[in-house]
Amino acid sequence: MGKEPKILIILFSLMILSVGKTYAQPVWVTGTPSVLLTGPLSITLNYGINVTGTVYIIVYNFNNSENLSSSTVRNRAILGQNGNLVEARVITVRRADIGKTLQVVLEVNNPGQIHTIYIVAADSKGKLQLVPVRLNATTLPCPQADAGQGGNECDLNFKFNAVPKIGTGIWTKVSGPGNATFSPNANAPDATVTVTVYGTYVFRWTETQGVCKSSDDITVIFSRPPVANAGTGGNTCGLDFHLGAVAGSADINGYWIMKSGTGTARFSPGSNDPSAVVTVSEFGRKVFAWIVSNGNCSDSSDVTVDFIQQPVANAGQNENNCGREYFLRAVPSIGTGTWTRVSGPGTASFSPDNHDPMAKVTVSAFGTYVFRWTEVNGQCSSSANVTIGFYEQIAANAGNGGDECDLNFSLNAIPG
């Protein structure tokens, strides 16, 4: 009988231990909870626990220094947003998420503002951590919209290059002489705008998200593309050539340059005159470009001009000649020279040929002849005439001499 009570006491003690069994509170994954990053209208939070359960989060849009209890945080998270409590989340942690670092994006509406976050976890049985974690995070200010760069366009189209920062953006025309359409739509940061009239336009890129709204302007100049027409080149006998570009409209500026060729070139009255006279310093082939511009838009057109040295023919001096042969005496300058008979009573032949400036000419009949010396250099030529009189050679016959016994003698020449 004395041992029975002892046995009963032991059994009772075992029952008490079984009923009073406790569960450990959820433990945060190392490095959590923590603020990963903030935006103007969001706070990204890292969290994670070592068991399945629930995470409760509330966010205030000011620096809240209250020491809230775990149950208060849970209750307010369940009730949701209210006044300065701008965000509330209830997140289930499943078996596959145990021990992992997870992220949640908390949506707020106060850019550039300090926020206080309370977060507490409970296990799957509803057992809360004893104390919630309190974190502070400052949201970023609303970003300034960036419309990218404007520019100059040589047609009626321009591709925008806005840099998206937040929310939804839209392009609008602020000013300009014509209408504007946007492709594929006005919300694309890299949309292509097409205008109906050349001129200067201002376009605005506006971004909106919640209370954030910002805009930025760019200027685009749409210029009519000029078309250059340098006219016709050619050949010139000398160092001067009259250029003939086709002048454009009054808003088109043009000028001449020598694009290739030796020596230098001077334009008169000036290089901006489409009909300028160009004077070069050396003979040869030159290429001239007529360059036109309208704003930043330009075009060019070329002409080729051959500057050929002009020959100066010199056929020598007029003379008379005894006989039917004569050595001509032209003074050559440049190019190829040729002798021709212009007039005379007979025919003429030249030896060794008619290109020799000092050729021997033989005529078939006595008389006065005109010969022409012509020099050709490319497209340029010059000629000069010389007159030669061909006369028959006279044979003198003085008759016979003799001896005279006085101081007188009678001559007896025989006339030819």
The answer to whether residues 39 and 134 belong to one domain is: yes
Q: Looking at residue 378, which CATH number applies to its domain? A: 2.60.40.10
The values of phi and psi at residue 409, to 5°, are: -145, 140
| Residue 39 within a domain | yes
* Per-residue pLDDT at 6: 38
Q: Is the domain of 44 the same as that of 133?
A: yes
Do 117 and 159 lie in one domain? The reply is no
Residue range of the domain that includes 106: 34-138
* 65 and 127, same domain (yes or no): yes
Q: Bridge partners of 44?
A: 37, 105
Which residue among 279, 308, 337 closes a domain? 308
Query: Do both 155 and 101 map to the same domain?
Result: no
Both 47 and 130 in one domain: the answer is: yes
Peptide bond into 352 cis (omega under 30): yes
Domain presence at residue 29 = no
Q: Quote the tokens at residue 361.
A: 């000419």
Q: Is the pTM of this model over 0.85?
A: no
Bridge partners for 4 per DSSP: none
Query: Is residue 337, in this structure, part of any structural domain at all?
Result: yes
Residue pLDDT, tens place only, 362-395: 999 999 999 999 999 999 999 999 999 999 987 7
Domain final residue, candidates 280, 308, 336? 308
Determine the pLDDT at residue 409.
Answer: 78
pLDDT at site 21 = 44
Q: Is residue 130 part of a domain?
A: yes
Same domain, 212 and 288: no
Q: Are 96 and 166 part of one and the same domain?
A: no
Regions of the chain with pLDDT less than 70: 1-23, 250-251, 416
- Residue found by looking up tokens 């050709």 in the block: 376
Q: Are residue 190 and residue 209 in the same domain, yes or no? A: yes
**Distant-in-sequence, close-in-space partners of 367: CB < 8 Å, separation ≥ 6:** 344, 345, 346, 389, 390
Q: Which two tokens stand for residue 329?
A: 């005496």
If asked whether residues 213 and 134 sit together in one domain, one would say no
CA distance 36 to 285: 73
Q: Let me know if residue 415 belongs to a domain.
A: no
Q: What pLDDT shows up at residue 407?
A: 84
DSSP state of 95: G
Indicate the residue among 173, 201, 222 that finishes a domain: 222
Q: Is 307 exposed, middle or buried (0-12, 13-18, 19+ CB in 10 A)?
A: buried
pLDDT number for residue 196 = 98
The answer to whether residues 253 and 277 belong to one domain is yes
pLDDT in tens, 132-166: 999 999 999 999 999 999 999 999 999 999 999 99
In this structure, the answer to whether residues 41 and 132 fall within a common structural domain is yes
Q: Is residue 255 domain-resident?
A: yes
Q: Tell me how many domains the chain contains.
A: 4
Asked if 187 and 206 touch (Cβ cutoff 8 Å), the reply is no
Has residue 14 been placed in a domain? Answer: no
- In CATH, what number is assigned to the domain containing residue 48? 2.60.40.2550
Whole-number pLDDT of residue 250: 67
- The answer to whether residue 103 sits within a structural domain is yes
Residues facing residue 375 across a β-bridge: 337, 382
Q: What is the pLDDT of residue 248?
A: 74
